[in-house]
A = this chain, B = another copy of it.
Amino acid sequence: MKKTGIVPTRDENYAEWYQQVIRAADLAENSPVRGCMVIKPWGYRIWETLQSKLDSRFKSTGHQNAYFPLFIPLSFLERESEHVAGFAKECAVVTHSKLKLNDQHRLEPCSPLEEPFIVRPTSETIIGESFSRWIQSYRDLPLLINQWANVVRWEMRTRLFLRTSEFLWQEGHTAHATAEEAREETLKMLEIYRDVVENELAIPVIVGEKTASERFPGAVSTYTLEAMMQDRKALQLGTSHFLGQNFAKAMNISFVDEDGQKKYVWTTSWGVATRLIGALIMMHSDDDGLILPPHIANLHAIILPIIHEESKRVQIEEYCLNLQQTLQTNAAIKVQMDTRDLRGGEKRWQWIKKGVCCLIEIGSKEVESNSVTFTMRDAINQKETISRDNFVQRLTDRLESLQRHLFNKALCARDMATIQVANERDFYEFFEQVGGFVFGYWSEDPSVESRIKNELKVTVRCLPSKYAEKRGHCLFTGKTDCPLALFAKAY
């Protein structure tokens, strides 16, 4: 049997493979606080890169960052009834402001608060309260705000990065004078997410609108990005909500328009979270561990000096250092050298599992022939040796190829596991046998939605925007003039 970096392999146990990839790459771990994770340095570095990719796009489209309180008074939540219903079942409630030692020398809460707070699960209400004071006139609109923050949802079943009780995210909140402008903003931010996810994370997505049952609590429309993981299940990567005037009315956000009339604003909100790191791991990694697309990778190249004779050490390390410095003159290339006193094979495996894009091995042979031996992470058994100059010149291209290759591979896998079905029998058969993405016309009947959820664990992922114009016979009911929907099992 072929030895793999990760045990078990994807085929053997996909869920456990995912955990082991994270452990082997040292990305994150479960904490002693139920459902909360510790994001370790190698995982956090991915988040920092992702933040900078998103943040620059938010800023170049006129959004400004701000910061709002962690705590939300219960009275704010109460104002939007759907919103309450959506978040009341899983939240962290702060009820006391002191601790005292009891007779058993254990700490216990004291000084109960007059009004308890919840730790924000999302900030529509608390930010809306500020908006109600900041916005007076049409001149104050549009108001385009983003917040980088931690949020808490007391999830029952958690999984590193994909679903944790506390997670890091950004949440955009905007207010507009007209519904049209707010709808435009909702879709503009969805497009920014698509751009980052496809072009930086190399994850192909299907963009569309959520059905009523999957909408954000309090939203009029929720748009989503859906990706297919290697186990053929869907993962929702980001959402953008058109909130209509629901929160404007609940939080009393109004303005005097150019015509002198007092009107409620139209708001949007949109967010992506550390879940994207989970998607990245699940999407590209293989049975040897993490694979990261170059645009988001922590390290593009690691240089490993291979020293068999001590007498050659200085010469080899100098050659490596010189190569590192040459590569670093290109600011876009992240390169490091590993001089730790460890067996070459062991070192190499560590970096493979950590998802470094290009592994460079330099021994006497390379020094003597002024060459570089390297392997790209997606083909670790294909060592190449080329002249040093050639390597230096071509590394950027090789990284771009890897980026494209990862995207295309994912796209290809998705397309191979996607079918269009026209009747219920084929629908059931597909999900009972292999699973994947199904496109099918659907009458938007919620009872069908709940039946397939109960019987197959399949949900409507979205009504894909690309096919918004298409109409056909409902695959379940035969009803005519129905929109095309995307169905899948999902995380």
Contact = CB atoms under 8 A, between A and B. Distances in A.
A48 B65 contact: yes
A37 B88 CA distance: 24
A16 to B, nearest CB: 20
Contact of A98 (B73, B88, B98, B101): B88
A219 B74 CA distance: 38
B95 A96 contact: yes
B73 A32 contact: yes
Interface string A76-111: 111000001000111111111111110001111100
A150 interface: yes
Contacts of A43: 66
20 contacts: A31-B126, A33-B71, A38-B68, A38-B69, A44-B65, A44-B67, A69-B166, A71-B166, A74-B106, A88-B99, A89-B98, A89-B99, A91-B98, A91-B99, A94-B95, A94-B119, A97-B154, A109-B116, A119-B119, A149-B150
Nearest to A152: B70
A38 B65 CA distance: 11
A338 to B, nearest CB: 14
Copies of this subunit: 2
Contact of A88 (B73, B78, B100): B100
A215 interface: no
A39, A67, A76, A168: residue with the most chain B Cβ atoms closer than 10 Å = A67
A118 interface: yes
Interface of A: 29, 31-33, 36-41, 43-45, 47-48, 64-74, 76-78, 84, 88-101, 105-109, 116-119, 126, 129-130, 133, 145, 149-150, 152, 154, 166, 168
Given A64-B45, A65-B44, A67-B44, A95 B97 contact: no
A202 B93 CA distance: 42
Nearest to A145: B41
Given A41-B65, A64-B45, A150-B150, A36 B70 contact: yes
> Chain B CB within 10 Å — which of A33, A44, A76, A166 has the most?
A33
Given A38-B68, A69-B166, A92-B97, 18 more contacts: A31-B130, A37-B69, A38-B66, A39-B67, A41-B65, A44-B65, A45-B65, A47-B67, A70-B150, A77-B107, A78-B105, A84-B99, A88-B100, A89-B98, A91-B99, A93-B97, A93-B99, A119-B119
